[in-house]
Amino acid sequence: MLRLTPTAKLVINYMAIRHLVDGATYVTFKELVERLGISERRLRALMQELRQAGLVEAYINPSRGRAILYRLAFNNFNFDSPIVEPGLYYIDLPPNVKIPGDLTLRSFSIIRASKLLLYTPVFANRKRLFTLTKCTCTIKPYSEEALAEARAVADPKAWPPWFLAQK
C-alpha cells in the first residue's frame, strides 16, 4: 500500500478540490507553488514521486511554450471520500469557514448528495457560497418547517432511536 506524506496529500487534495469545485482539469506547477506555499525544489521532487506512483499525469502545453500541466490519474487511486448513504446529516461549520475552500472531501460528498441543505442565520449572507459546491439541492434557512421537510426527505428507518424520540 502506498503511503503518502502530508505534503503529497495536500497536493492531491488541492488538485481534487480544484477539479471537483472549479472544474479545472489541469493545474500548473506555478499555481501549486503559489497556492500551497511549497518550495519549487520540494514540489518538483514530490510531483516526480506522484507521477511514478501513477497518481498524477503530466502533459506539455504547446500553446504555453514548455509549460507542464498536471492532472490527477483518477483510474489509479481511490480517494478516502466515502459513498454517502441517504439520511439526515449535520455538518458543523465554524462562522469563519471559507466555503468551499475549507470544506473536507466528506463535506463535499454530503452536500453534493443532498436533496435539502439547511443553513443557520450565521450563514444567511453567505448561502450563495454553498452553490460553489455544485450542490443541486434546495437550500433553505433553518426553521422548524424546514427541519420537518428534512425529516420527510430522510429515510426514517435510518434515524437513530434518540432522534426519533425528539419528534
Bridge partner residues of 138 (DSSP) = 116
User: Tell me, what's the pLDDT at 161?
Assistant: 58
| Global pTM value | 0.48
Spell out the residues 6+ positions from residue 167 whose beta carbon is closer than 8 angstroms to its own: 151
Cα separation of 165 and 42, whole Å?
A: 54
Mean pLDDT of the chain: 77
Confidence class of residue 33 from pLDDT cuts 50, 70 and 90? Answer: very high
Cα separation of 144 and 146, whole Å?
A: 6
146: left (phi over 0), alpha (psi -120 to 50) or beta: alpha
Give 114: exposed, middle or buried? Use CB within 10 Å, 0-12, 13-18, 19+.
buried
User: Tell me, what's the pLDDT at 74?
Assistant: 75
Query: Tens of pLDDT along 66-115?
Result: 788 999 887 765 545 456 666 667 777 777 777 666 777 677 777 777 77
